[in-house]
Copies of this chain bind each other. A is one copy, B any other.
Amino acid sequence: MLDIAPPGPIDDDIRPGEKTVALPEGFDAGLYFIGRIRTPWTERGSCPRRGDAEEGPVCTLEIDPRWAEALVGVEECPRLQVLYWMNRARRDLVLQSPRHDGPTRGTFALRSPVRPNPIASSVVRLVGVDGLKVQVRGLDCLDGTPLVDLKVHHG
């Protein structure tokens, strides 16, 4: 039995054609948030639909001090893959009707944050590393979004 912090507010309404399922009773694995993401966006409506690694604004990955040494060498990684936790997305939709992205489809045929495990993935361009702060371009998420992983991206 392990403590898991309660999720933040969930703010996804159901749209026509969408369908939910019952979630499993327990979790199969636990995540540690390794930091937070600082972005210019404080409301979901203002977030871009996809980040722009070339022209997008600089965002900052603030790494928890526990993981400081895991940043050794990141300054030499021009591209990074960032995984982050969309903590305001519901997890029980199997069919979704995207507002701006075509007809109703299954969750696995979409990149919507609404999914059983709301992990978003973006490939970003490194701007610089300053202590525990990693500056990048190419993110699309709300300010304060929990960071799950950061890894070099090849190619």
Contact = CB atoms under 8 A, between A and B. Distances in A.
Interface of A: 1-5, 7, 19, 21-34, 63, 66-74, 76-77, 80-81, 83, 85, 87, 91, 94-95, 104-111, 115-117, 119, 121, 146, 148-152, 154
B29 A83 contact: no
Given A95-B72, A117-B148, A66 B21 contact: yes
Given A33-B29, A121-B121, A146-B28, A71 B106 contact: yes
- Kindly name the residue among A68, A72, A74, A154 whose own CB sees the greatest number of chain B CB atoms within 10 A: A72
Contacts of A1: 1-4
B32 A109 contact: no
Contact of A33 (B28, B63, B94): B28
Given A19-B69, A74-B109, A109-B152, A5 B33 contact: no
Contacts of A32: 23-24, 27-28, 91, 116-117
Contacts of A66: 21-22, 24
25 contacts: A1-B1, A1-B2, A1-B4, A2-B3, A2-B4, A2-B26, A4-B28, A4-B30, A21-B69, A24-B32, A29-B85, A34-B117, A71-B106, A71-B108, A72-B95, A72-B105, A80-B108, A81-B121, A109-B151, A110-B152, A111-B154, A117-B149, A119-B119, A119-B148, A121-B121
